[in-house]
Amino acid sequence: MKKWVFRISIAFNIIFILLWFWSYLNSPSRELGRLEKEIAIGHFQSEDPIFTLPKGLTVRNVSERGLNAIGQFENNRFSIIITADDPSLINYDLPKDSLNMFSNFYSAEILRNTFWKDDSDK
């Protein structure tokens, strides 16, 4: 009986190690970095910027890696954590249909729109 339990324990340990390794390969690296450019942030499919993130902000890489990144739109993702002492700063008790269509995802593609302009007349 003891040998049987020992073999099952070893098998489960191997499975857990393989699952941990698989998760590690596919999860974001979460490394810290610094913005090297000023970024205008806007809603998806909109040309008007909402606000601008200044150059020099510290950000964390949240881009999926490995198989988790397959099919992910705009895979260069980063996060900024903002803290505050004021609990009334954000209202979380809103109906879901009153929020942005794309949830809390925003696009930094606005500055690239100048690429499509024809500069041949200059």
* 29 vs 45: CA distance, rounded Å: 29
Domain map (residue ranges) of the chain: 28-114
Query: What whole-number distance in Å separates Cα of residue 27 and Cα of residue 69?
Result: 9
Helix ranges (H only) for 1-122 are 2-26
- The 10s digit of each residue's pLDDT in 17-42 is 999 998 888 888 888 888 888 888 87
pLDDT of residue 23: 87
Lookup: tokens for 88: 């009334």
Query: What are φ and ψ of residue 19, in 5° steps?
Result: -65, -40
Q: Is the pTM of this model over 0.75?
A: no
